[in-house]
Amino acid sequence: MANEGNPGDFSILTNNPLVESRLKGRGAWSVDYRPELSLREILVAARDKVYAGHTLYTHPLSGSVKPNETPYKSVIISVEPHGINDDFAVMIASAIETFDKLKDFKREYNDRVLKDFQLIDYTLICGAIGFDALSGLSNK
């Protein structure tokens, strides 16, 4: 992750309950858990932060699951603004544009599938922060 030299200056913006339950209070990061937001709304919230000068530390469309197929997304951004970065602004705007271009499936997923999507997002974000996802799951 781009912020290794400044621990504590990043926050995980997420609508994923697994990320919130397993990562909140477990490291130098904070978790901004917003369960009421859709994936697109998480991207918009991240965009608003980036436009306010916060640093985007993870790609908003990371992973192999298409954004219109999963309800969960976690994005890492700086806690403090560091100035507007045009590359980050373009990246987050493009992610929202990509989401909007994809056909919305409007699927209802059962609990098992939702838990699978939560685990995928959790594993991706753990990789970005260098957190052992497996040990995080085994320690309650």
pLDDT in tens, 75-106: 999 999 999 999 999 999 999 999 999 876 67
**Cβ distance 55 to 5 under 8 Å?**
no
pLDDT at position 52, please? Answer: 97
Query: H or E stretch including 111?
Result: helix 111-129
Would you tell me how many other CB atoms lie within 10 Å of the CB of residue 69? Answer: 14
Strands (E), the chain: 10-14, 30-33, 54-56, 74-81
The position carrying tokens 């922060």 is: 129
pLDDT at position 109, please? Answer: 92
The chain-wide mean pLDDT, for the chain, equals 91
Tens digit of pLDDT per residue, the chain (140 long)?
A: 444 445 578 999 999 999 999 999 998 899 999 999 999 999 999 999 999 999 999 999 988 888 888 999 999 999 999 999 999 999 999 999 999 998 766 788 999 999 999 999 999 999 999 999 998 887 55
Encoded amino acid at 129, one letter: I
Phi, psi of 99 (to 5 degrees): -55, -45
pLDDT at position 107, please? Answer: 80
- Could you tell me the sign of the dihedral formed by the alpha carbons of 13, 17, 23, 28, in that order? positive
